Amino acid sequence: MAYGGVILSNSLSFYQKRIVMSSRVQEKNGGASIPHVLSVAGSDSGAGAGIQADLKTCAARGVYCSTVITAVTAQNTVGVQSVHAVPEDFVAQQLKSVLSDMQVDVVKSGMLPSVGVVKVLLQSLAEFSVRALVVDPVMVSTSGDVLAGPSILSTFRQPIAASAGYLCLISVIILLAKSKEELLPMADIVTPNIKEASALLGGIRLETVADMRTAAELLHALGPRNVLVKGGDLPGSLDAVDIFFNGEHFYELRSSRIKTHNTHGTGCTLASCIAAELAKGSPMLTAVRVAKRYVETALEYSKDILIGNGIQGPFDHLLKLKSGSHSFRRKDAFNPSDLFLYAVTDSGMNKKWGRSMVDAVAEAIQGGATIVQLREKDVETRDFLETAKSCLVVCRSHGVPLLINDRIDVALASDADGVHVGQSDMPATVARTLLGPEKIIGVSCKTVEQAQQAWIGGADYIGCGGVYSTNTKANNPTIGLDGLKTVCSASKLPVVTIGGINASNAGTVMEMGVPNLKGVAVVSALFDRENVLAETKKLHALLMEASSSSKMQ
Ligand SMILES: Cc1ncc(COP(=O)(O)OP(=O)(O)O)c(N)n1
Ligand SMILES: Cc1nc(C(=O)O)sc1CCOP(=O)(O)O
Ligand SMILES: [Mg+2]
């Protein structure tokens, strides 16, 4: 079964199924359905892992999360002190309550403390339709505590002693032939860490990336459609390497190893983020990539926070706790319509026409510029910072965002509204980590792949060009209107186009009605002119006309 309890045709892709299901629900309620993950997992009193991590992850990723609690654990940053398994019939009742009432897109399972609970879950999946099952075979927490013996395997040699729960030996687990009654064959993805993969495979040694590949292949043979073996615990590797195997191809997914003690709950978070992205309609590999980035970003963001006295702390799923300043920034910092007339400055041009940067920015804003980017290529850092601060005063007084080209440090030091980075500048994901969640990040993209990466990296918009040739930026390849259309159509982010745009062609570009294209970014058409105010007004009027005629088409 590709998606547990399938009632929709298997010929439909996951995304198509989601649309069909959503429209059904909308018809019924007359409202909009939202992506929904059901987490079937244990409660963590310290709230770093388990149900609590799943709830926070889904909230952070914009997905609704309902919960079925399988066990209540007494744990903190020191470890797991005790486990109280919820009676199986009560787990069954919770499952029924949620699944009989709500349209769940994806079920994510975590701690399943007994064979009976696995069976109850399997019965519910057979009875109620969901479209994907993510199995995090929780047996060993990141703190090293053994949380559940049988987990996803419906059979094992001896029942796990329940009193201390977490102290059961995983060596009692053996693999039996796969059968429809087991959880693994139902899973769209299973996400073991090294210890769990080893336990699932009867205790084999996993010490290298090559071993992880072998494990992924062996686990895949047990029935799940995809396997992610997480190598976070692999000794001697600078990167965190995970192996993703879909039955055909292996993917080595690397992320930087964040130096932090705050890693409690990373496994639950990764799995619930995969579930959340699947619920939104992402393909599996994309969901896994996004989830890895999310965990990496959250770890980096929370590496210094201090919660509890133990050796392994929780991290901040909402990326807000670390710095008070981020949490009090204005909400909805970025409005895609701000891209409408995007003024990119050039101090050389301003000098040529004998005006200061601040005056040029003020005129552009008065003429209708909706966002400003300070692009300084040959200026001392100190001067760049001063200019940024002065321009920020003007921009803030008009409610126009000010972005800094390339220089995250200048953006941070001046408290500008964000940055614009290119493919050879700081990656968006790192910029996001440094700038926090509220700042605006734009990324230059010439290809669909780059646009996808920008989205995964947490950018707010992409700049796409050069649509025409330009004298402003040397050796800038053009992608033309066709290239622009291709990138815009695939982009999950709003797009502003750039490169050789002026009053004679801006209308043509905007009238095409390209999906996601929100505006034009210009340098010389505004600043290599004597009268910035007049040129900006002219371009603004043209864009208004073009966008109203494109809407009428
Ligand atoms: C809105 C916008 N789009 C693209 C760019 C180009 O950025 P990048 O590729 O980093 O090149 P430089 O501007 O740094 O030379 C941009 N600046 N703004
Ligand atoms: C800064 C920049 N980036 C480009 C890209 O293609 O990414 S083109 C460009 C310069 C745009 O200047 P003008 O409006 O004077 O043509
Ligand atoms: Mg750049």
Q: What is the pLDDT of residues 88-142, one digit of tens each?
A: 999 999 999 999 999 999 999 999 988 899 999 999 999 999 999 999 998 765 5
pLDDT at 25 over 50: no
List all residues whose CB is within 6 A of at least one atom of ligand 1: 342, 344, 373, 375, 405-406, 420-422, 425, 442, 444, 463, 473, 496, 498, 521
Give the residue, out of 405, 445, 522, 527, with the most ligand 1 atoms within 8 A of its beta carbon, to mutate for a pocket test.
Answer: 405
Rounded Cα gap, residues 403 and 386, in angstroms: 14
Residue 62 CA to ligand 3 center (angstroms) comes to 30
Q: Which of 9-23, 212-226, 478-492 has the lowest mean pLDDT?
A: 9-23
pLDDT at 9: 35
pLDDT band at 413 (very low <50, low <70, confident <90, very high): very high
Is residue 501 pLDDT above 60, yes or no?
yes
- Return d(Cα 376, Cα 53) in angstroms, integer: 43
Per-chain mean pLDDT for the chain: 85
Each residue's pLDDT tens digit, 420-471:
999 999 999 899 889 988 899 999 999 999 998 898 888 999 999 999 999 9
pLDDT for residue 381: 97
Percent of the chain with pLDDT over 70: 83
Q: Which atom of ligand 2 is nearest to the CA of 344?
A: 1
Ligand 2 center to 38 CA (angstroms): 46
Provide the pLDDT for residue 33. Answer: 82
Whether the per-residue pLDDT at 480 is higher than 80: the answer is yes
pLDDT value of position 443: 98
Q: Among all ligands shown, which has an atom nearest to the Cα of 473?
A: 2
Q: Which range among 67-76, 133-142, 297-306 has the greatest average pLDDT?
A: 67-76
Q: What would the two tokens of residue 495 be?
A: 């797009």
pLDDT at 512: 92
Residues of the chain with CATH 3.40.1190.20: 35-304
Give me the architecture of the 35-304 domain, per CATH: 3-Layer(aba) Sandwich (3.40)
| Ligand number with the minimum distance to the CA of 476 | 2
Q: If we measure between CA atoms, which residue out of 237, 281, 277 comes closest to residue 257?
A: 237
* 468, 473, 526, best to mutate for ligand 2 pocket (most atoms within 8 Å of CB): 473
What number of other Cβ atoms are within 10 A of residue 10's Cβ? Answer: 10
What is the model's pLDDT at position 498? 98
* pLDDT at residue 155 in the model: 34
| Of 133, 129, 139, residue with least CA distance to 42 | 139
Q: Is the pLDDT of residue 163 over 50?
A: no
Instruction: State the CATH class of domain 336-552.
Output: alpha beta
Tell me, what's the pLDDT at 429? 87
Q: Ligand 2 centroid vs 473 CA: distance in angstroms? A: 6
pLDDT digits (tens, 9 = 90+) for 201-257: 988 999 999 999 999 999 999 999 999 999 987 876 667 899 999 999 999 888 778
pLDDT score for 550: 64
292 as an active site residue: the answer is no
Q: How many CB atoms lie within 10 A of CB 53?
A: 28
Of residues 19 and 147, which shows the higher confidence score? 147
pLDDT at residue 491 greater than cutoff 90:
yes
pLDDT of residue 144: 63
Contact present, 341 and 536 (Cβ < 8 Å): yes
For residue 351, pLDDT over 70 is answered with yes
Q: Choose the weakest-confidence range: 207-211, 354-358, 528-532.
A: 207-211
Q: How many A from CA of 256 to the centre of ligand 3?
A: 23
Binding site membership of 442 for ligand 2 (Cβ less than 6 Å): no
Predicted local distance difference test score (pLDDT) of residue 138 = 87
What are the start and end residues of each CATH 3.20.20.70 domain in the chain?
A: 336-552
- In the block, which residue shows the tokens 């970025």? 334
ipTM: 0.98
Lookup: tokens for 407:
């220089």
Question: Which has the minimum average pLDDT: 191-195, 386-390, 406-410, 549-553?
Answer: 549-553
Concerning whether 422 is annotated as a catalytic residue, the answer is: no
Q: Which pLDDT value is given to residue 399? A: 79
Q: Which residue has the CA at smallest separation from atom 1 of ligand 2?
A: 473
pLDDT value at position 146? 62
Establish whether residue 505 lines the binding site of ligand 2, counting it when its CB lies within 6 angstroms of any ligand atom. Answer: no
- pLDDT at position 78 over 50: yes
Q: Label the pairing between strands 64-75 and 80-85.
A: antiparallel
Q: Higher confidence at residue 400 or residue 403?
A: 403
At residue 538, what is the residue type? K
Does the pLDDT value for residue 22 go beyond 50?
Answer: no
Q: Which residues in 242-252 are b (16+ Cβ under 10 Å) and which e?
A: bbbbbeeeeee
Of all residues in the chain, the percent with pLDDT exceeding 90 is 66
> Is there a catalytic annotation at residue 464?
no
pLDDT at 24 over 50: no
Q: What is d(CA 219, CA 201) in angstroms, rounded to the nearest whole number?
A: 7
269 in Cβ contact with 57 (< 8 Å)? yes
Taking the mean position of all CA atoms in its chain, how far away is CA 156? 36
Tens of pLDDT, residues 304-346: 889 999 889 999 998 877 654 343 333 456 889 999 999 999 9
CA–centroid distance, residue 422 to ligand 1 (Å): 6
Cα-to-centroid distance, 355 and ligand 3 (Å): 24
User: Nearest 5°: phi and psi at 459?
Assistant: -70, 160
Q: Give the separation between CA 27 and CA 34, rounded to whole angstroms.
A: 14
Which pLDDT value is given to residue 333? 66
Residues 222 and 211: beta-carbon distance below 8 Å:
no
Helices 284-301, 50-60: inter-axial angle, 10-degree rounding: 100
Residue 160 pLDDT > 80, yes or no?
Answer: no
Report for 15-29, 250-264, 282-296, 365-379: range of highest mean pLDDT: 365-379
Ligand located closest to 502 CA: 2
CB contact at 8 A, 159 and 115: yes
The string of DSSP codes covering 316-336 is: -TTS-SS-HHHHTSPSS---G
- Comparing 363 with 142, the larger pLDDT belongs to 363
In this structure, the residue with its CA closest to atom 8 of ligand 2 is: 499
Question: In the annotation, is 265 catalytic?
Answer: yes
| Burial of 366: CB neighbours in 10 Å, binned 0-12, 13-18, 19+ | middle
pLDDT band at 265; cut points 50, 70, 90: very high
Confidence class of residue 148 from pLDDT cuts 50, 70 and 90?
A: low
SS3 41: strand
